[in-house]
Amino acid sequence: MNITLAQAEKMISVAKQKSTSLDTKMNIAIVDAGANLVAFGRMDGAWLGSLDISIKKAKTARYFDMNTGIIGELSQPAGPLYNIEHSNNGLITFPGGVPIKNKDGEIIGAIGVSGSSVENDHAVAEAGATAI
Amino acid sequence: MNITLAQAEKMISVAKQKSTSLDTKMNIAIVDAGANLVAFGRMDGAWLGSLDISIKKAKTARYFDMNTGIIGELSQPAGPLYNIEHSNNGLITFPGGVPIKNKDGEIIGAIGVSGSSVENDHAVAEAGATAI
Amino acid sequence: MNITLAQAEKMISVAKQKSTSLDTKMNIAIVDAGANLVAFGRMDGAWLGSLDISIKKAKTARYFDMNTGIIGELSQPAGPLYNIEHSNNGLITFPGGVPIKNKDGEIIGAIGVSGSSVENDHAVAEAGATAI
Amino acid sequence: MNITLAQAEKMISVAKQKSTSLDTKMNIAIVDAGANLVAFGRMDGAWLGSLDISIKKAKTARYFDMNTGIIGELSQPAGPLYNIEHSNNGLITFPGGVPIKNKDGEIIGAIGVSGSSVENDHAVAEAGATAI
pLDDT at B1: 80
Distance from CA of A90 to the nearest CA of C (A): 5
Q: Name the residue facing A38 among B9, B39, B42 (closest C-beta).
A: B42
Q: Please determine, for residue A94, whether its predicted confidence score (pLDDT) is greater than 90.
A: yes
For chain C, the distance separating the N- and C-terminal CA atoms, rounded to the nearest angstrom, is 14
| Burial class for A22, CB neighbours closer than 10 Å (0-12, 13-18, 19+) | middle
pLDDT recorded at residue A123: 98
| E strand intervals along B5-129 | 27-32, 37-42, 97-101, 107-114
Q: Phi and psi at residue C98, in whole multiples of 5°? A: -140, 130
pLDDT in tens, B11-37: 999 999 999 999 999 999 999 999 999
Chains in contact with C, where contact requires at least 3 CB pairs less than 8 Å apart: A, B, D
Q: C touches B (3+ CB pairs < 8 Å)?
A: yes
Domain count along chain C? 1
- Report the run of H or E that residue A111 belongs to, with start and end: strand A107-114
- Using pLDDT thresholds of 50, 70 and 90, give the confidence band for residue A1: confident
CATH number at residue A45: 3.30.450.150
Tell me the residue range of the domain where C74 lies. Answer: 5-129
DSSP assignment of D18-56, as one string? HHHHTT---EEEEEETTS-EEEEEE-TT--TTHHHHHHH
- For B38-85, what is each residue's pLDDT tens digit? 999 999 999 999 999 999 999 999 999 999 999 999 999 999 999 999
- Find, in chain A, the residue whose alpha carbon is nearest to that of C63: A49
pLDDT digits over B88-111, tens only? Answer: 999 999 999 999 999 999 999 999
Share above pLDDT 90 across residues of chain D, in percent, rounded to a whole number? 98
A39-48: average pLDDT: 98
**Beta bridge partners of residue A30, listed in sequence order:** A39, A111
Reported as a single tens digit per residue, the pLDDT across C42-83 is: 999 999 999 999 999 999 999 999 999 999 999 999 999 999
Is the per-residue pLDDT at C1 higher than 90?
A: no
Is the predicted pLDDT of residue D123 greater than 90, yes or no? yes
Average pLDDT over residues D49-67: 98
pLDDT of amino acid D1:
83
Residue-by-residue DSSP string for C64-129 = HTS-HHHHHHHSSTTSTTTTGGGSTT----SS-EEEEE-TTS-EEEEEEEESS-HHHHHHHHHHHH
Distance, CA of C29 to CA of C98 (rounded, Å): 11
Euclidean distance between CA atoms C122 and C26, whole angstroms: 11
Mean pLDDT score of chain D, rounded to an integer? 97
- ipTM comes to 0.96
Chain B residues closer than 8 Å to D50 by CB? 63-64
